[in-house]
Structure 1
Amino acid sequence: MDDHSPEQNGESRKSLLDEHRPDRIEARLQRPPHSRRMSDFVLGAIDGCVTTFAIVAGAFGAGFTEAVVLVMGFANLIADGFSMAVSNYEAASVEREQRIEATRTERRHIALVPEGEREEIRQIFHQKGFTGEVLENVVSTITANRQLWIDTMLAEEYGISRARHNPLSAALMTFTAFVCVGAIPLLPYLFQGLNTTEQFYSSAVLSACAFFAIGLAKGLVSSRHTLVAAIKTLIFGSCAAALALAVGYLLRHFVV
């Protein structure tokens, strides 16, 4: 049985037809590749909230005071946030260096052995099903434009996309998300009027809301199923917290 009613399928087709008008296609293809900023934000936010609430849960299970929770929590925010930002910076730097080196290599190869590079283009598109005169026209068109030639080789031979990532921007976005969202589970511990149990459950509710919101954001970036992504993120975050809580309870007799 079809998951969608005829009316829903009709609306979907109408929307798709509108999106595939020649002018819409041209405008869409001329746009630069999507930025990774949202991905960097989601990465930092999820890790920040999970690790900080894991500390809260573990400390609650072990029976630690609110002062210990705050010290451990904020120390984790700064140290782990910085570590994650550095890791993301290095990863983006490696991608950029790979692109630069591959571009330099292809530019040199095109200058020294142009026929060999043309043959690579020819074989790449032959494997895609182009043959005869059509294949030769494709090869001639691509190799007539040096930048297009290089970009095609980067994508087809090295698997390097057109998207270019700024390492510093990636690091700052990850660190900001980690610290801002990771601080949410600690907010109840800043209020002196709550007892330890109330602080923990308030932290759990706030963290659950944060996990759900992060999942929604992740769903908007990566797929159409935003609600599914939100629920999955909430479940994963809850599992991490449950493990930390269990470890805290198991070890409390050894550390208290």
Structure 2
Amino acid sequence: MSVVQSGDELEAQHRPAAIRARLAAGRRQSHLGDTVLGAIDGCVTTFAVVAGVQGASLSNRVALVLGLANLLADGFSMAVSNYQRSKSERELLDQARRMEELHIERVPEGEREEIRQIFADKGFHGSVLEEIVRIITRNRQRWVDTMLTEELGLQTRGPAPLKSALATFTGFFLAGLIPLLPFVLPLPLSPQGKFYVSAGATATAFFSIGLLKGLVLKRPLLRAGLETLLVGGGAAALAYLVGLWLQDIAGA
């Protein structure tokens, strides 16, 4: 499975109407990445708890209680962390914008020269270069945005902190709930059987989340799915081994 596109698909995506639609969509903030990362972390950590409990030969009730506690506490913690990160990025952008506006107000010719040199480095020169400088600097908003992106390497729109946090928590909670479902639902299975069902459902979730991550990052889908499955499986195996090691301490 691959994200490589055919020549016809690439050509269709580079027609004028398709380009306009893609550029317009690119101006909207997407929180899919926050959701995917939250889902990966939620599924990994919750199943690690389940595997650790199983390794220590504790009861299903312990797995459910610890799993739910982890699901809520770690999900909230991750969401708050992402909120703070997004808020800091937005504050950095606002600070940089104020700085550029101040520079344009106090030293406009110096800022024009910066625009001139930025686009000269891109290969423009002569009257074409001067026309670019004139067009950009006659609009204050466009002037500031150009300085932010070209000089400072910033995006002109920062992430929405609350939406980032909610996307992270939603992904974490929904994916993290999957390993716990066999212990919540009234399945006619033994404790060991419920663990096997949890392991199978979690492995499927790991692979599916990896596929989604591959779509977000534009990577080969099969490779992304297997990588996430291996990482999640490794974390679960480690937790299981720790549970076995601490079995006597746990009083099993």
TM-score relative to the length of structure 2 = 0.91
AA of the residue aligned to 1:132: G
Secondary structure of residue in 1 paired with 2:153: coil
Pair 1:42 & 2:36 matched: yes
AA of the residue aligned to 1:227: L
Who is 1:214 aligned against? 209
Secondary structure of residue in 1 paired with 2:247: helix
Who is 1:5 aligned against? none
Who is 2:243 aligned against? 248
In the alignment, the residues of structure 2 paired with residue 137 and residue 26 of structure 1 have an alpha-carbon distance, to the nearest angstrom, of 24
In the alignment, the residues of structure 1 paired with residue 219 and residue 193 of structure 2 have an alpha-carbon distance, to the nearest angstrom, of 37
**Cα gap change, 1:36 to 1:26, in 2 (>3 Å):** closer
**Mean CA deviation greater in 17-26 or 154-163:** 17-26
Pair 1:14 & 2:22 matched: no
Who is 1:172 aligned against? 166
Who is 1:84 aligned against? 78
Q: Which runs of 5+ in 2 are unaligned?
A: none
The two structures, once aligned, show a CA RMSD in angstroms of: 1.8
In the alignment, the residues of structure 2 paired with residue 179 and residue 224 of structure 1 have an alpha-carbon distance, to the nearest angstrom, of 25
In the alignment, the residues of structure 2 paired with residue 34 and residue 234 of structure 1 have an alpha-carbon distance, to the nearest angstrom, of 31
**Mean CA deviation greater in 129-138 or 140-149:** 129-138
Q: 1:26 aligns with which of 5, 20, 37?
A: 20
Q: CA deviation at 1:34?
A: 4.9
Q: Is the 8 A contact 1:55 1:244 kept in 2?
A: yes
**Mean CA deviation greater in 30-39 or 225-234:** 30-39
Who is 2:179 aligned against? 185
Query: Which runs of at least 4 in structure 1 moved beyond 4 Å after TM superposition?
Result: none
In the alignment, the residues of structure 2 paired with residue 204 and residue 163 of structure 1 have an alpha-carbon distance, to the nearest angstrom, of 41
Q: Which runs of 5+ in 1 are unaligned?
A: 1-8
Q: Is the 8 A contact 1:33 1:162 kept in 2?
A: no
Q: CA deviation at 1:135?
A: 2.1
Identity %: 53
**Mean CA deviation greater in 197-206 or 186-195:** 186-195
In the alignment, the residues of structure 2 paired with residue 18 and residue 199 of structure 1 have an alpha-carbon distance, to the nearest angstrom, of 49
Pair 1:149 & 2:140 matched: no
In the alignment, the residues of structure 1 paired with residue 78 and residue 145 of structure 2 have an alpha-carbon distance, to the nearest angstrom, of 31
Pair 1:125 & 2:136 matched: no
Who is 1:239 aligned against? 234
In the alignment, the residues of structure 2 paired with residue 253 and residue 100 of structure 1 have an alpha-carbon distance, to the nearest angstrom, of 55
**Mean CA deviation greater in 197-206 or 18-27:** 18-27
Who is 1:197 aligned against? 192
TM-score relative to the length of structure 1 = 0.90
Q: CA deviation at 1:223?
A: 0.9
Matched residue pairs, number?
A: 247
Q: 1:68 aligns with which of 50, 56, 62?
A: 62
AA of the residue aligned to 1:44: G
